[in-house]
Every structure is written in structure tokens, then in C-alpha cells.
Amino acid sequence: MPTSLQSLAARGQSPWVDYLSRGFVHDGDLAGLVADGVTGVTSNPTIFQAAIAEGDAYDEQMREVLRSEDDPKQVFLALAIQDIRAACDLLRPVYDRGDPSRDGWVSFEVDPHLAHDARATVEEAIALHRRIDRPNLFIKIPGTEAGLDAVEETIARGIPVNVTLLFSLARHRAAAEAYLRGLRRLRDAGGDLSAVASVASFFVSRVDAEADRRLDEIDGPADLRGTLAIANAELAYHAYREIFTGDEWSELQAAGASPQRCLWASTSMKNPERRDVTYVEQLIGPNTVTTMPRATLEAFADHGQVIDTLSTDVEGARRTFERFAAAGVDYDDVVAELERQGVAAFVASFQQLFDGIADKRSALVATTNGSDTS
């Protein structure tokens, strides 16, 4: 009998896990999930910050790296890249199958401090792609205005991209257009379109959290709570199906291009009063990706229901938008605020990560010195 995750794949949706750590890769946990149907991995600064801060899994390598490097960012990259390569290698058989879904990807993010600097983002994307040196690597680039310029340039250079931190329909469409411009440039330069791909990471639960907070402030309609995120994602998927059709797209597809799939991110349920797998269950549809934190993935594997739910009521999604506007909740301001918060949160995680590396470095030095004098 297929697992719930394998049943998702049968519906055309790729289940990925939003987690990565050294133990997770090397102790067999990731391999077990791949056997159960997981076909990709996403990571971000917050995930790595927690992984490196906990326990001693990285201590031995950190001691080695610290002999020649003391810049916290470079120390972090040395540690994280080893995990990313190992995850890529583990998922390489999935990638090599050559399924139409183009799975087997592992995502690694550029420094979020660069979110508003297109040139620096491109330079770091190129450097990371070259350094990690795996064909099934996605470079994650935030979908800010500057980030979208970087997406086009990075795709034009033949580097696969996960466009992250997308909250608005306008930004999602702009990410698709940036991808298409990059593909056309790559094709015109004689590049191999079949070697690149992209996903658009459209964040879900944070939209409800912010919209519901604003509804509560104005004593808005109670039945609107918990409805904007799904409506937002449904309309993004509707746009995806419009964008990746037509003669121009058919020409790119014939040259080897694959569409930029919607990836549902931030799928954990923040409201304890609602079903824990709501966002996964309500966004199931073909040619999409859902990435889940481990707890959500395990919950879905245990009791998730697999039913096609996307695009069942596009007009209903539009009416939800109209009702929020009538209630006094400004959608454009909600998603703009979420983008600001998202970039700031990842920058803060990066800084915590650097501070944690500095603290661990001091502890390792103290331990080494203590051992030398004992």
C-alpha cells in the first residue's frame, strides 16, 4: 500500500522536507523519508542556525576549519556545504530518474543580507553553485525586487533557482516572468535549458497569521479567519497555469525547459485550533511541490488525506479577496509587511548563526587549551 507521501506523488505533487542537519543526513533519517516518498529538501538560515547550535555534530569539522578560517560566514559555509552535498548525493537517484516532475533537488540559500543587492546575489549564487558542484542543487534567492533581477541573471547563466519568500500574487507572477526572461537568454546564448529548473516558493501560513491578526484588530468577520492563505495560493496556481501555456512557452518547452512549479512553503499550522495538516491537504494538485517541516510531514504521513483540492473554486478565492478588502484589510500591505518580516527574520537567523559559531569557536578553543594543559 502506498504511503501518504507516495500518494501525493501519484497526484502529481512532490513532497519535500523542510529540514536539514548532519545527523539527519548521515544517520539514515533522510534516506528513510526518501524511501517513503520524499523527493526533495529545502533549507534556510533558521534551519541551519538550529542544527549547528544543537549538540556536537559539527565540532570535529569546526575544529579543522578553524585552523585556517576565522570568518564566521566562511566557517558556516564550510559546515553547511558538506551537508548540502551529502543530501544532493542521497537524492541524486531521484534526480537521475528524469521524471517529468524534475525532482531530487536540494535548496541552499544565498546570504539574506544580500536580498536587496542583485549583483552581489548573483555573484554569491555563482560561487555557491560552483563550490557545491552538484547538478541537483537549487540556489535559493529571495523574491524581492532586486532578487528577481538576480533570478533572471542566474537562470541565464544556467543555474537552477528556488525563488523564495514569495507572499504576493504580483511577486509570484514577476518571479515567473524573471524565470522566462532568463530561459530566453540562456536559449539565445546556446545554453542547455534542460539543465536548469525553478520553483516559486509561495509562503502560506504566515499570510493567515498576519491577515487574522489584522482582522482581530478591527473586529472583522470571524468566518474570514484562516481563509486568505489558501485563496492566495489557489490564485497563484491559477496564474501559474496561465503563464506556462501558449506558443511562446511551447517553444521554450520544446527546447528542454520545464515550468517554474509552485512550491507551497510555510505549511505548518500556527493556529492550534485548526487541523495540523490543513495547508498540506488544501493545496494538493498536479505540477506542484509541498515542502513540510519534519513535524508536519510526520503528521501528514500519519493522518493526512490525499484529495485533489487545488483549483476547485477560483471564483470563491477571488470573493475571499473581495471580502477582506471590504472588511478593511489591505492585501497589498499585508504581503509587503510579510516580505519585510521574512527578510528580517532570515537576516536575524544568519546573525544568530554567526554569533553561535563565534561562541562555539571560543568553547572549542577553551576545551582544546584545557586539554593541552591537563
Q: What is the pLDDT of residue 102?
A: 82
Query: Where are the extended beta strands (E) located within the chain?
Result: 13-18, 40-42, 105-109, 137-142, 161-166, 198-203, 261-265, 288-292
Per-residue confidence band for 325, with pLDDT thresholds at 50, 70 and 90: very high
17 forms bridges with which residues in the sheet?
Answer: 41, 292
Burial (CB < 10 A; 0-12, 13-18, 19+), residue 76, is: buried
Residues 6+ positions from 147 with CB-CB distance below 8 Å: 115, 116, 118, 121, 141, 163, 165
Q: What is the pLDDT of residue 373?
A: 42
Domain limits, the chain: 4-207+227-311+344-367
Percent above pLDDT 90 for the chain: 80
Whether 169 has a pLDDT exceeding 90, the answer reads yes
The closest alpha carbon to 136, from 173, 176, 76, 92, belongs to 92
Residue 188 near residue 181 (C-beta atoms within 8 A): no
Query: pLDDT by residue (tens digit) across 143-162?
Result: 999 999 999 999 999 999 99
Per-residue confidence band for 98, with pLDDT thresholds at 50, 70 and 90: confident
Query: pLDDT by residue (tens digit) across 295-309?
Result: 999 999 999 999 989
49 against 346, higher pLDDT: 346
Whether 171 has a pLDDT exceeding 50, the answer reads yes
Query: pLDDT by residue (tens digit) across 204-233?
Result: 999 999 999 999 999 999 999 999 999 999
Whether 374 has a pLDDT exceeding 90, the answer reads no
Whether 10 has a pLDDT exceeding 70, the answer reads yes
What's the count of helices (H) and strands (E) in the chain, helices before strands? Answer: 16, 8
CA distance 43 to 122: 19
The secondary structure of 238-268 as a DSSP string is HHHHHHT-SHHHHHHHHTT----EEEEE--S
The SS3 call for residue 204 is coil
The CATH homologous superfamily for domain 4-207+227-311+344-367 is Aldolase class I (3.20.20.70)
Residues with a known catalytic role: 140
Rounded to 10°, the helix 331-373/72-96 angle is: 110
Q: What is the pLDDT of residue 368?
A: 59
Mean pLDDT of the region 123-133: 98
Q: How many CB atoms lie within 10 A of CB 348?
A: 14
Q: Which three cell numbers stand for residue 56?
A: 556536537
Whether 328 has a pLDDT exceeding 90, the answer reads yes
114 forms bridges with which residues in the sheet?
Answer: none
Average pLDDT, the chain: 93
Q: What is the pLDDT of residue 52?
A: 81
Q: What is the pLDDT of residue 155?
A: 98
Q: What is the pLDDT of residue 172?
A: 98
Query: pLDDT by residue (tens digit) across 175-204?
Result: 999 999 999 999 999 999 999 999 999 999
CA distance 189 to 196: 14
Whether 365 has a pLDDT exceeding 70, the answer reads no
Single pTM value for the model: 0.94
CA distance 8 to 15: 7
CA distance 350 to 344: 10
CA distance 159 to 284: 28
Residue 201 near residue 265 (C-beta atoms within 8 A): yes
Query: pLDDT by residue (tens digit) across 23-76?
Result: 999 999 999 999 999 999 999 888 888 888 777 888 889 889 988 888 889 999
Per-residue confidence band for 367, with pLDDT thresholds at 50, 70 and 90: low
